[in-house]
Chain A
Amino acid sequence: MTDQAPSQVSSSRPPTTWAIEAIGLTRRFGSSIAVNQLDLQVPPACFLGFLGANGAGKSTTIKMLTGLLSPSAGSAIILGEDIGRGSTEAKRAIGVVPEDLAIHDRLTGSEYLMFIGRMYGLSRDTILQRRSELLQWMELHHDPKKLIVDYSHGMKKKLALAAALIHDPQVLFLDEPFEGIDVIASKLIRELLAKLLERGVTIFLTSHVLEIVEKLCTHVAIIHQGELVAHGSIDELQKGISDNSGRQRSLEETFLELVETDRTNLPTLSWLS
């Protein structure tokens, strides 16, 4: 497919340490391979959109990059530290919103943030201050006594994002953070992410909403059936597969071109016709 050979997200000057680096990252589940020989390098202060169809291996990759899942082969390196080996430094540097979150739902929102803050070794005053700001930003401060189990889906997602941010991570992994989030909150979160990017935070985001990716991300990587099929800055990617007319293509068209399987032989749904 497109530029398979240079395995790094291009950037004007290659940094000394990559923010995120995957070397031959592979994960098997029994006989099936979820992620196959993934090589990827992300420089600091880069906003990478990681795209792929359902079951392509996005979440599995994120789990391996954050130390939640050990790779069958290869290694995941964050800021020069191997996270698969349980490096504490690497763990401290990352913030994660996993696909199915990591919430203790019998705590209240503020109790949970206090718990997380403490686990990351923040001082009490810092936690109190950041917690109140985060809760207000996420509009979660209205009912402080509510247990998380009684939160709505979107509220939980927002809380998970707050928890991922409270220790001011240098690298942020977000697995479908916008899924189930309302329009207002989604706008706020996009602003927040832009601000983080300005601060030099590296963001690794998966999403199925390509408009958001197109608007937010500086770079895009596409995974198909466990293999990386494209990566580069958004412009490069769109130019890479520009059609004959020379028209600039949308990310969606590019994406579909790369990952869509042949659907011509599909049966029709007989009872609908």
Chain B
Amino acid sequence: MDQILAIVWVRTRLLINTIRLKSSGWERMASVITMIAGTLLSLGIAVLIGAAIESSARVDNGEGAETLRVGLIGCFWCCTFFGVLIPLLLSTGASSIDTGRLRNFPISRRRLALISWGSSFLGPDHIFYYPFLVAAYVVCWIEIGLVGPGQTLFFLMVPVIIVTWSTGLVSLLQSILRHRRGKEIAGVLGISMVLAVSILPSMLASSLKARPPGSRAELGHPLHPLLEYINLTPPNLAADGFLALEDGNLQLAGLKLLALLCWLLTGVLVGYMIMQIGLDSGGTGSRTKTSGPADHEASGRDLTRLLPWLPPEVVAVISKELRYLLRSTVGKFNLLALPVLCVLFGQLFKFDQTEQLLPGFEHDQLVIYGLLMYALLFTNNFISNSAGWEGEGFKVYLLAPVSYSRVLLGKNIGVWLYASLLYLEVISFWTIFHGIPKLEVIFSTAMLFTGAMVIFTIAGNFSSIRFPIARDISAMKSQPSQAAILISILTVACLSGTVVFIVLAPYMIGLNIGHLIPLTLFALLSLGAYRISLPIAGEFMKTHGEQVLEKLESGH
């Protein structure tokens, strides 16, 4: 017990020290704002869900129980999405315990597993969806009256299973993607995970439409055979178990509980096994080596020949940046995940081809836009924390006789090249699976993508210099600072406003010029803005370079 206490103490001490050391008031303020905004958001959604369940259950037409089921399942699934996706995409990682670092101490592995499992419940990643559960619980309380301990148990099973599985999944992905030999497996695994996560909403919608639960006749969904199994997933099991108890059907409730326990046990076992493997192969610690020779040897090998009009030092930074992107776990994962999303999005949005959602926009165009926005999100982390994985190497920029704006230019072009790779991927996979998009679609999406990317970069250059956070290139989790997240969110908000305005304004004044011209204008304007911002960002880096170095080095 002493060891566990010591670890808990170390964690809190570290947390307190980092908060204390966070010298910048801005950073602290931004993190508080983000925390409040996040809590408000999830509370808001929770209240909405609660109100929806409440009001629909009030309509006492015999469907009350069914509505309650739908509401509960909806709520539990929301939690599952948040619980699985947030740690993967947007983790702050602050309070999870790195078992790799603890393995030098005389602690048994079982205890280590217990510690890491327990600590993940308190991870900030998971706290976001707890309000959903609380809201649903309160609504049930209002509806049914007293919620008994048995029913509460079903409620509690949901987060426990989510946390167990998501922790396991994250470390599995991390440990697999880190090793060269595991790459092929990682491909399959990553793809199937994204697949699962993306299919689930539509499956869920279809399954909920299919009332009563018995009839699954014409669902019109390409994956409807799978729907039969959706009742075996933890959210459905928990909801059904809850309702079975409510009906007094003890046998059914027991069965459901048993199934839930199976999920939990499997999750725990899988997590334990992954941890074992991780520890045996050198630990899950962030310092783990990649082992294995460099791949992508060709990439950027001779960029100087390809980009002869750029100064050689810019080309040097570009090729370094590209190598890093392609050797990073997240960079690889994005390249793998995008094709899958491509195929899926195409499938899911195939049905209502007829209606135009926005004037003048083709249906595929909108879907491709959606995909590109995903791609932008994927790269946003590289942009808004672009110095993150330089580590001690950041010194090179301070030592070398190169102007800082050139360094930034090189870093930005590197990310842009990576982004164009993603763009090409989207277009080519779309072509393979859904036919060639119209030329106009290709051009206008390219323009929008370019413009949005460039504007992100302008904001990103400043937030990466002002709010850098050291990150591990081989980790799946990405960790921009709270302030950087806030800046990106603001950028997205401004950006989408601008784009909608630019595209719709001609229509409003009765000018039917399509959207290619306005979007091209948008891209050109943003490039102009970039040109103006670059020297300013360079100057900013000159004054803040030392702080960046300090933050990067203390982060490891």
A residues near B (Cβ < 8 Å) are 66-70, 86, 88-89, 91-92, 94, 96, 98, 100-108, 111, 114-116, 118-121, 124, 143, 145-147, 149-150
**Of the residues A92, A107, A108, contact of B401 by C-beta under 8 Å:** A92
Residues of B within 8 A of A147 (CB): 290, 293-294, 327
Residues of B within 8 A of A101 (CB): 392
Interface residues on B, range: 35 or more
**Of the residues B304, B313, B328, contact of A121 by C-beta under 8 Å:** B313
Residues of B within 8 A of A89 (CB): 401
Complex A-B: 27 CB contacts under 8 Å? A86-B542, A89-B401, A91-B400, A91-B401, A94-B399, A102-B392, A102-B393, A102-B399, A103-B392, A104-B324, A105-B393, A106-B324, A108-B293, A108-B294, A114-B316, A115-B320, A115-B396, A116-B396, A118-B304, A118-B315, A119-B396, A120-B401, A121-B312, A145-B293, A145-B297, A147-B293, A149-B290
Q: Is the CB of A98 within 8 A of B294?
A: no
Given A111-B294, A118-B313, A145-B294, A68:B324 Cβ within 8 A:
no
Residue of B with least CB distance to A96: B399
Q: Is the CB of A104 within 8 A of B399?
A: no
Q: Is the CB of A88 within 8 A of B392?
A: no
Residues of A within 8 A of B313 (CB): 118-119, 121
Q: Is the CB of A70 within 8 A of B401?
A: no
Residues of B within 8 A of A102 (CB): 392-396, 399
* Shortest CB distance B458–A (Å): 23
B379-403 residues at the A interface, CB under 8 angstroms:
389-396, 398-403
A69 to B395, CA, bound (A): 10
Asked if B289 is at the interface (CB within 8 A of a chain A CB), the reply is yes
Asked if B546 is at the interface (CB within 8 A of a chain A CB), the reply is yes
Residues of A within 8 A of B316 (CB): 114-115, 118-119
Residue of B with least CB distance to A151: B289
Residues of A within 8 A of B389 (CB): 106
Residues of B within 8 A of A91 (CB): 399-401
Tally A-B pairs: CB < 8 A.
97
Main secondary structure of the interface of B (DSSP, over half): helix
Q: Among A89, A106, A120, A146, find the residue whose CB has the most chain B CB atoms closer than 10 A.
A: A106
Given A104-B393, A107-B323, A111-B323, A66:B399 Cβ within 8 A:
yes
A19 to B22, CA, bound (A): 38
Residues of A within 8 A of B324 (CB): 104, 106
Residue of A with least CB distance to B327: A106
Asked if B319 is at the interface (CB within 8 A of a chain A CB), the reply is yes
Residue of B with least CB distance to A145: B293
Residues of B within 8 A of A67 (CB): 398-399
Q: Interface digits, B294-332 against A, CB 8 Å rule (1 contact, 0 not)?
A: 100100000010000000110111011001100110000
Q: Is the CB of A150 within 8 A of B392?
A: no
A101 to B542, CA, bound (A): 21
A100 to B552, CA, bound (A): 12
Residues of B within 8 A of A86 (CB): 542
* Shortest CB distance A100–B (Å): 5
Q: Is the CB of B319 within 8 A of A150?
A: no
Q: Is the CB of B399 within 8 A of A150?
A: no
A145 to B295, CA, bound (A): 8
Residues of B within 8 A of A69 (CB): 546
A147 to B327, CA, bound (A): 11
A66 to B320, CA, bound (A): 23
B513-556 residues at the A interface, CB under 8 angstroms:
542, 546, 549, 553
* Shortest CB distance A36–B (Å): 20
Residues of B within 8 A of A98 (CB): 392, 395
A43 to B437, CA, bound (A): 69
